[in-house]
Amino acid sequence: METTLIILKPDAVQRGMMGRILSRFEDKGLQVVGAKLIKISSHLAERHYESHKGKPFYDGLVAFMTSSPVLVLALRGNGAIAISRKMMGATFGSNAEPGTIRGDFGVSNSFNLIHGSDSPEAAERELGLFFEESEILDWERAHQGWIYDMSGGAPE
């Protein structure tokens, strides 16, 4: 099982979309193992987006991410990173396919509703920025066997 970081950005929170977006991940079968509503500090935003430092959009991105609360999620599932990214859609809402979060809810190229880790290494780093180890829980869902075929001993 893989755990990924998802951030519902200020535009998603301000537009009252947290429940609808979170429901999509749960409906898909991903498990919420950590969640909190926070206001990101400038320091945390700068650390999170440090790979973009020096790019023309960096200052605006940091300002946007610190402008309003965000919902930070740790989601777990078999292939959670790739599944989440596919569900999110293309980075720019104007290019995102219908059926994706950005395709259904976004048109802006700047306000794109959601962030998701893009690799296992990024997920580990990002989860460490936003969650203490004790805030990501291991718990068994009663319906887990109905989400994954476990007949071979591991989720398929």
Q: What is the 3-state secondary structure (H, E, C) of 111-149?
A: CCCEEECCCHHHHHHHHHHHCCHHHCCCCCCCCHHHCCC
Q: Are 126 and 114 within 8 A, CB to CB?
A: no
Enumerate residues 6+ apart whose C-beta is below 8 A from 66: 39, 40, 41, 42, 45
**Which among 43, 48, 115, 143 is annotated as catalytic?**
115
CA 51 vs. chain centroid, Å, equals 18
> Is 48 a known active-site residue?
no
Fill in the DSSP letter of residue 110.
Answer: S
Extended beta strands in the chain, E state: 2-8, 31-38, 70-77, 114-116
Instruction: Classify residue 139 by burial, with Cβ atoms within 10 Å: 0-12, 13-18, 19+.
Output: exposed
Please list the active-site residues: 115
